[in-house]
Amino acid sequence: MPKTLETVLEIDLKALEHNYRFLRKRLKPETKFLGVVKAFAYGSDAVEIAKKLEHLGADYLAVAYVKEGVALRDAGIQAPILVLHPQPGNFKKLIKRCLEPSIYSPKILRTFLNACKTLNQKSYPIHIKFNTGLNRLGFWENDVDHIMDQIKDREEIKIASIFSHLAASEDLNEKVFTQQQITTFEKITNEVDEKLGYIPFKHLLNTSGIINYPEAQFDMVRSGIGLYGFGNDKKIDAELKPIATLKTVVSQIHKIEPNESVGYNRAYTSDDYRMTATLPIGHADGIGRQYGNNKSYVSVNGTLVPIIGNVCMDMIMIDVTNIDCKEGDEVIIFGEKPSAEEFATCANTISYELITGISQRVKRVYKGA
């Protein structure tokens, strides 16, 4: 890649392929793989990532909302798409674009059945979500009879799968709790299989689930963060490759005298002669104020230097004293070093929040296509 002249998020599709194969290898060959591409594929680019995953042979894709699924269909994505959190007002659109809803409550089930009836659907695939301990979305174990009563003799729909979501798959101190979730899920799926008259496929694991509980892979797994290069675990992180590098460029260098301040509200005051560099990226681009005031570090020609003062909307300032640095030089906000995980951890957040928060103002560029 040539040196960047502006702020870009560089997406490495070869790294995505590496991560996909790494995760796939840990599964039984017959286990299906769902790639989670919600939130612009965790801030990278849903369409490009979905295309690549389709090409690599992912069996399913998932988004959070109908609108995200529609965008994928508009771009020609043909893989089955699970919509994890559909809103009832969008069911007609969902059906028109062949998106498959997660059905998580009695009301959602009723409304969806009505939409299918209105649009003359037959055996429309739905995915029943059960709550096994996350207490976020889903039917409860004792809803199984209710669901069966509702869908018995309804030709409009067909349960394609039964699924649940782990609350703490990355936290090995919560092994007992996770094991309980797995057991509850097994119980639910057995009951459903018995009462339904046909066998839907089952899925439970997210990325950390694949790593820590492969015995619970059932028929499919759902991976997001692992595809983008993070495993919520240092050893796994070392084997995955972050697919996104956030790069920018030095706009201007300033010589600062002792006791001068830098930036809004004079949040930084120099203790000595300092050199600062101003970068064209700020909180409107997704680098929030929590990263300022010496919390997080960026890489300038191989050296890590702190962000000083308050993060502005469109700019940050960094301390480049005694560093080889001039206007036009490239700066890595995160990528290989520092990784998004390291950058995020310094400011008490997680890679998920940092990467999904890189705003649409930042241009995405691709390599390894």
223 binds ligand PLP (CB under 6 A): yes
Residue with smaller CB distance to ligand PLP, 225 or 325: 225
Residue with smaller CB distance to ligand PLP, 112 or 268: 112
CB of 268 to ligand PLP, least distance (A): 35
Residue with smaller CB distance to ligand PLP, 60 or 343: 60
* C-alpha distances out from residue 339 to 304, 344, 351, 361, Å: 12, 8, 9, 21
Applying CB under 6 A, among 161, 206, 212, 248 the residue interacting with ligand PLP is: 206
Cα–Cα nearest to 33, from 258, 210, 239, 267: 210
d(CA 37, CA 35): 6
Amino acid residing at 33: F
Q: Which residues contact 164 (CB under 8 A, 6 or more apart)?
A: 129, 130, 131, 132, 134, 138, 181, 184, 185, 188, 204
d(CA 197, CA 283): 53
Q: How far is CA 266 from the centre of its chain?
A: 36
178 binds ligand PLP (CB under 6 A): no
Q: Whose CB is nearest to ligand PLP?
A: 224
d(CA 147, CA 246): 46
Residue with smaller CB distance to ligand PLP, 231 or 282: 231
128 binds ligand PLP (CB under 6 A): no
19 binds ligand PLP (CB under 6 A): no
Residue with smaller CB distance to ligand PLP, 127 or 274: 127
CB 228 within 8 A of CB 355: yes
Name residues contacting ligand PLP, limited to 136-165 (CB under 6 A): 165
CB of 108 to ligand PLP, least distance (A): 15
Catalytic residue among 20, 32, 38, 51: 38
Residue with smaller CB distance to ligand PLP, 112 or 352: 352
81 binds ligand PLP (CB under 6 A): no
32 binds ligand PLP (CB under 6 A): no
CB 64 within 8 A of CB 84: yes
Applying CB under 6 A, among 138, 224, 282, 286 the residue interacting with ligand PLP is: 224
CB of 331 to ligand PLP, least distance (A): 28
61 binds ligand PLP (CB under 6 A): no
d(CA 363, CA 357): 14
**Considering CB under 6 A, how many residues would be counted as binding ligand PLP?**
10
CA angle 127/117/145 to nearest 5° reads: 45
Name residues contacting ligand PLP, limited to 302-361 (CB under 6 A): none
Strands (DSSP E) contained in the chain are 8-12, 32-36, 60-63, 81-83, 99-103, 124-129, 157-163, 201-203, 220-223, 244-249, 252-256, 261-262, 268-269, 274-279, 297-300, 303-308, 316-319, 330-334, 363-367
Residue with smaller CB distance to ligand PLP, 80 or 224: 224
Residue with smaller CB distance to ligand PLP, 43 or 286: 43
Q: CB under 6 A: which stretch of 180-188, 217-225, 267-275, 314-322 binds ligand PLP?
A: 217-225
Q: Which residues pair with 277 in a beta bridge?
A: 253, 318
Q: CB under 6 A: which stretch of 93-101, 221-229, 245-253, 264-272 binds ligand PLP?
A: 221-229
The question of whether 158 is a catalytic residue gets the answer no
Q: CB under 6 A: which stretch of 72-80, 193-201, 216-224, 248-256 binds ligand PLP?
A: 216-224
DSSP class of residue 331 equals E
What does the block give as tokens for 214? 């492969």
Q: CB under 6 A: which stretch of 141-149, 178-186, 223-231, 319-327 binds ligand PLP?
A: 223-231
202 binds ligand PLP (CB under 6 A): no
CB 103 within 8 A of CB 137: no
The question of whether 264 is a catalytic residue gets the answer yes
In this structure, the chain runs to a length of 369
The residues annotated as belonging to the active site are 38, 264
Q: Which residues bind ligand PLP (CB under 6 A)?
A: 36, 84, 165, 206-207, 222-226
